[in-house]
Structure 1
Amino acid sequence: MKRNYWPLFFIGIFSFVFSMIIWTIVSATSVPVSEDRSFLQTYQEVDDNYNKIMNSNIDFNKSYDLVFILNGKKLPLSTEDIMYSQRVLEKYSKNKNLLNVGDNQLEIMAINKDTNEKSLIDIDLVVTKSSKNDKDVVLKTDKFKNIENKYTTNFSIDEENNWNITGMFKINDKTGYIFLKTNAI
């Protein structure tokens, strides 16, 4: 009588596939997960409210000129970098090399377009690595020195990496959002 080996072949393939499924689940659960906090919200909240965030920026820019100076470079209240991958930024970004490994200085002012006076700002910023959030630098209003509504602070970055600067500025009922991708050198 001839032996039929097809059932053993089927059992072997099934066992291999089942073990690969188990290995995938174990590998995936052992990797740390960092939640994206663009604009200090979950990605679901950003997805649901993206148009509101962009319209809020337009309204903020109609009322105020935000002066955002990082290590001597003046930057606009911008969210354009959110559309770019890190590789694209390395080639085309205007925001390359903004951060220093070590000390960094940040100055922020908001000038009312109607009165031409500096306004009080509620600041909520995070400087975070693009891949992990274990070295986040949280910069809230209380971390800034306020001298005549000019906010200044110093913070430290401890490694060369790609970094995101994200957050919001609130003045009365207006909120401006910022999202910059850069790197530390």
Structure 2
Amino acid sequence: MKKRNFWPLLFIAIFGFTFSMIVWTIVSAVNTPVHEDKSFLSTYHNVDGDFNDIVASNEKFSDKYNIKIKINEKVFDKLLINDVFLSQRVIDDKSTHKDIFNKGSNSVKFELSDKNGLVVNNAKINFKVTRTTNSYSDIDINNNENGNYSFNFDLAKEGNWNITGTIDTNDGEKGYFYIKSNATSK
């Protein structure tokens, strides 16, 4: 009687298992939704390549204009972009931006004036309120009325939210902002 050797079958089984895991990984990755970051209302490729221009644009904007951004009761007296570098955990632990959003009704008001104190009524303000994990809850806000820089929106869920956008003036100056915070029930 001839003795059978089953070692080749073990190698075939290991190869088959490994190949099936590779196929499963690829199928899972293809079926997982991808949510692209829209910081400063642009793609992350553009933000990465143009970040120095964004900083320079904000400096020129701040030299020419005074800006106040009031989110509910919190007032920011300049364009903030440093939160783009921070994780949400840092915001939760150390930031003064914590708890500026409410679950439910929220308001954002912009006050824009030149360095002489004259109110600027013809700026275009575009911003997006986003959840940090997906794009299903994004709220796009654009102003269409001259001089109306007051916006209201509702946040359906508690949790981490970002507000990012641009302010365009009719003289070609552009300011950028990015603020991370969280919404709570109050």
1:55 aligns with 2:56: yes
What does residue range 116-131 of structure 1 map to in structure 2 within 5 Å? 116-119=117-120, 120-131=122-133
Shift, 1:5, TM fit: 3.3
State the distance in 1 between where 2:82 and 2:136 align: 25
Shift, 1:99, TM fit: 0.7
The corresponding residue for 1:74 is 75
Deviations 1:111-163 (A, max 9, x none): 111x2111131101000101111111111012xx65xx362121111110211
What does residue range 101-140 of structure 1 map to in structure 2 within 5 Å? 101-113=103-115, 115-119=116-120, 120-140=122-142
The corresponding residue for 2:85 is 83
1:174 aligns with 2:176: no
Q: Which secondary structure does the structure 2 equivalent of 1:179 belong to?
A: strand
Shift, 1:52, TM fit: 0.7
Identical-pair percentage: 40
Q: Look up the equivalent residue of 1:153 and give its one-letter code.
A: F
Contact 1:118 1:150 in 2 (8 A): no
- Structure 1, unaligned runs of 5 or more: none
Shift, 1:9, TM fit: 2.0
Deviating runs (4+, > 6 A) in structure 1? Answer: none
Check 1:150–1:118 CA distance in 2 against 1; reply closer, same or farther (3 A cut).
Answer: farther
State the Cα RMSD in Å: 1.4
Deviations 1:38-92 (A, max 9, x none): 1111111111111111111111111111110010210131001011111111111
Contact 1:79 1:178 in 2 (8 A): yes
TM-score w.r.t. length of structure 1: 0.92
Q: Which secondary structure does the structure 1 equivalent of 2:162 belong to?
A: strand
1:13 aligns with 2:14: yes
The corresponding residue for 2:34 is 33
Q: 1:165 aligns with which of 157, 163, 168?
A: 163
Q: Look up the equivalent residue of 2:53 and give its one-letter code.
A: K
State the distance in 2 between where 1:89 and 1:2 align: 68
Deviates more, 1:149-158 or 1:34-43: 149-158
Contact 1:109 1:150 in 2 (8 A): no
1:23 aligns with 2:19: no
Corresponding pairs, count: 180
Q: 1:151 aligns with which of 149, 152, 170?
A: 149
Contact 2:73 2:100 in 1 (8 A): no
Contact 2:125 2:143 in 1 (8 A): yes
Q: Look up the equivalent residue of 2:155 and give its one-letter code.
A: I
